[in-house]
Amino acid sequence: MPEPKSAGSAFRDEGAILVVDDDESSREMLARRLRRCGYTVSAVPSGVHALALARSQKFDLVLLDMIMPDWTVSRSWPNSRPTPRCEKRPS
């Protein structure tokens, strides 16, 4: 079976990234660019969706839009309790 290709080069699994942005065009553009670089990307429109996904899947990096109407990152994300899948967070 041939190896999958991404952006014209051999596929590389560089890691899993969660993109969180309420602006659909920004979210999708960033997700496409990261996928072309070999990352596995999940993209969600809100912090609530992000927390639910982060608790059920392992991500190497979470990219958060700092200004979203339904979400205060500085208050909500750091106060969320770590789980076995999400133990390391920058302080």
Structural domains in the chain, CATH included, are 12-68 (3.40.50.2300)
- Binned at pLDDT 50, 70 and 90, residue 12 comes out as low
Average pLDDT over residues 13-40: 93
Q: Please name the residue that has the structure tokens 């999958």.
A: 4
Reference 6, options 41, 38, 40; nearest CA is: 38
CB neighbours of 29 closer than 8 A, spacing ≥ 6?
Answer: none
Using alpha carbons, list the distances in angstroms from residue 55 to 29, 39, 83: 25, 19, 7
Which pTM value belongs to this model? 0.68
Q: How many helices (H) and strands (E) does the chain have?
A: 3, 5
Give kind and range of the element (H or E) at residue 18. strand 16-20
